[in-house]
Amino acid sequence: MQRRRRCVGGVSVQLLVWVVVLVWSWRMVEAQQAPKTDPIEVAALNTILGRWGLKASSEWNISGDPCTGFASDETDWDNYPKINPFIKCICSYNNNTVCHIIRLYVHSSSRLDLLNFISVVRTCTAWLDLD
């Protein structure tokens, strides 16, 4: 005995289910965007580094957004002494959509504008390590 396929308006139910699952999956992936650094903090960081004559390290700034790469993972900067400057971020704000810079490490710099940095990231705990 042959099995009858159920059809809805000439379209098999199985095909319809697969299309719905595919579209739903695509929407879920689209909704999961990487968190972005607060633009005010990016501008402040770029200003501070510019005043000190420094550039963001390619090891932690891998996409143009400073809170990427080593900056947003569990990496401890003690393991990477040649990365200078180095920042650390937490990207769990606003349901994992916003990153905040919480640490700035600069080795052997005497031109520090600490008050400028702290005033910009006053909503977060800033930790500055100056060797």
Judge if 44 and 13 occupy the same domain: no
User: Could you read off the pLDDT of 101-115 as tens digits, one per residue?
Assistant: 888 887 764 455 555
Q: Are 76 and 101 in the same domain?
A: yes
Residues 58 and 105 in one domain: yes
Is residue 91 located within the same domain as residue 61?
yes
CB neighbour list of residue 126: distance below 8 Å, 6 or more residues apart:
101, 102, 103, 104, 117, 118
Tell me which residue of 124, 117, 67 sits closest to 96, measured CA to CA: 67
Average pLDDT taken over every residue of the chain:
72
Query: Is 70 exceeded by the pLDDT of residue 86?
Result: yes
The whole-model pTM stands at: 0.58
Query: Same domain for 46 and 24?
Result: no
Confidence label for 77 from pLDDT (cuts 50, 70 and 90):
confident
pLDDT score, position 42: 87
Q: Residue 3: helix, strand or coil by DSSP?
A: coil
pLDDT of residue 124: 45
Residues 82 and 27 in one domain: no
The answer on pLDDT for 123 being more than 80 is no
Question: What is d(CA 64, CA 62) in angstroms, rounded to the nearest whole number?
Answer: 6
Strand partners, 12: 7
Distance CA 91, CA 103 (A): 13
The whole-number pLDDT of residue 126 equals: 47
Q: Give the residue carrying structure tokens 């905040």.
A: 100
Mean pLDDT, to the nearest integer, of 25-42?
A: 73
Q: Which domain holds residue 20?
A: 1-32
81 and 106 share a domain?
A: yes
Same domain, 91 and 53: yes
Same domain for 50 and 110, yes or no, is yes
Whether residues 88 and 117 fall in one domain? yes
Q: Could you tell me if 5 and 45 lie in one domain?
A: no
DSSP assignment of 39-66? HHHHHHHHHHHHHTT----TTT-SSSSS
The arithmetic mean of pLDDT across residues 52-68, rounded, is 78
Instruction: Quote the number of domains for the chain.
Output: 2
> Domain check: are 15 and 78 in the same one?
no
pLDDT over threshold 60, residue 19:
yes
